[in-house]
Amino acid sequence: MSLRIGITCYPTVGGSGVIATELGKLLAEKGHKIHFITSNMPFRLDVLHPNIHFHQVSVNQYSVFQYAPYDIALASKMAEVIKRENLDILHVHYAIPHAVCAILAKQMAGTNVKIVTTLHGTDITVLGYDSTLVEAIRFGIEKSDAVTAVSYALKEQTAEVIAADKEIHVIHNFIDERVYRKVNSHHLKAELDIEADEKVIIHVSNFRKVKRVEDVVKSFHKISHKLRAKLLLVGDGPEKNRICQLIKKLNLDDKILFLGRQDQLEKIYSISDLMLLLSEKESFGLVALEAMACGVPCIGTNIGGIPEVIMDGHNGYICELGNTEEISNRAIKLLENNELWEQLSANATATPKQYFHSQNIVTKYEEIYQSFM
């Protein structure tokens, strides 16, 4: 049965926006009518499809407002779209503010639209500890018709931190396997001044403190004493300046390349030999799955949902948070042993299809939607 589904997410760069957008695109391909209700065009919404519509939320600033009421404008736009498009489902990504806005919008619209909320991480692992928001998060979760979390770790943490009276379904993240695959981008190595015999290590993030990019640099420093390698840092964010200072201090300027924000990540992954994801908070770690799809084994920390994606000894290794000695030893052993690397790379390539196949994941969301029809 084809459904009319509204989707709200943060449209800027970030895994939750990526998942919401890719889910909308795949649902549209399966014949559902998808209505994105967001403040800006989601950055991955790069397709023209007759089943995809975009409704922009705009907020007017009046001198009487100290703060422009974005949440109210969002709820109002949601209510307008629920009524006009006769939505069956409103699927929101993040409890704050989106689930709360959706509940308000449902009341405004006065219809029986069902609200599905997906928790992505920071809404629980950071905001959940903020006493000014915790009641609103619990309300958003409990009043949603269904709630999903992107990992078992996040489900457990939500139970601990929020203690909401609500069943939470775990639906892991996925990637578009048609996009993330090993491609021939060998020319990039020369363009980036990387010698043929140099190993390429990659880190991709939004350079927030929780990503512990300094641990990536310190681990790389140790690795670079043992083998010829370059580190690619992809992304941008608040920690960049501090990381640049650390790189200077460690004299690593000629071995570390800052590539900034990049599209077509599959090309960069395809020249990489190893990904480092050393976060102190990470509910899933979508970039690890993207890298694996392109044949890149990953080393991650024993944090949150990372061990659900990086399976220790199978498609990479799990190390203790902050233990740059253990991380660099693991990396060196892997990068120096071709046979071992080939095995882990093959397992990594198979991981998305084997455990996180996009069609299976989309079907799980559809089952939740259909359970209300």
What are the residues binding ligand GMT (CB under 6 A)? 14-17, 19, 120-122, 125, 150, 173, 206, 208, 210, 281-286
Identify which of residues 76 and 307 has a Cβ nearer to ligand GMT in the complex.
Answer: 307
Q: How far apart, in whole angstroms, are the C-alpha atoms of residue 182 and residue 251? A: 32
Identify which of residues 122 and 224 has a Cβ nearer to ligand GMT in the complex.
Answer: 122
Residue 354 burial (C-beta neighbours within 10 Å; 0-12, 13-18, 19+): exposed
Instruction: Calculate the CA 186 to chain-centre distance.
Output: 27
DSSP assignment of 139-207 equals HHHHHSSEEEESSHHHHHHHHHHH--SS-EEE------TTTSS----THHHHHTT--TTSEEEEEES--
Identify which of residues 19 and 164 has a Cβ nearer to ligand GMT in the complex.
Answer: 19
Question: Residue 108 Cβ, how far from ligand GMT at the closest point, in Å?
Answer: 26
Identify which of residues 155 and 199 has a Cβ nearer to ligand GMT in the complex.
Answer: 155
Residue nearest to ligand GMT (CB): 121
Question: Residue 245 Cβ, how far from ligand GMT at the closest point, in Å?
Answer: 22
**SS3 at position 313:** coil
Provide the 10 A C-beta neighbour count for residue 254: 9
Question: Residue 280 Cβ, how far from ligand GMT at the closest point, in Å?
Answer: 9
- Taking phi over 0 as left and psi of -120 to 50 as alpha, with beta for the rest, 275 belongs to beta
Identify which of residues 57 and 79 has a Cβ nearer to ligand GMT in the complex.
Answer: 57
Residue with tokens 């102190």: 280
Question: Residue 199 Cβ, how far from ligand GMT at the closest point, in Å?
Answer: 26
Question: Residue 288 Cβ, how far from ligand GMT at the closest point, in Å?
Answer: 8
Q: How far apart, in whole angstroms, are the C-alpha atoms of residue 151 and residue 40? A: 27
Q: What is the DSSP letter of 93?
A: E
Question: Residue 291 Cβ, how far from ligand GMT at the closest point, in Å?
Answer: 12
Q: How far apart, in whole angstroms, are the C-alpha atoms of residue 20 and residue 17? A: 5
Identify which of residues 268 and 277 has a Cβ nearer to ligand GMT in the complex.
Answer: 277
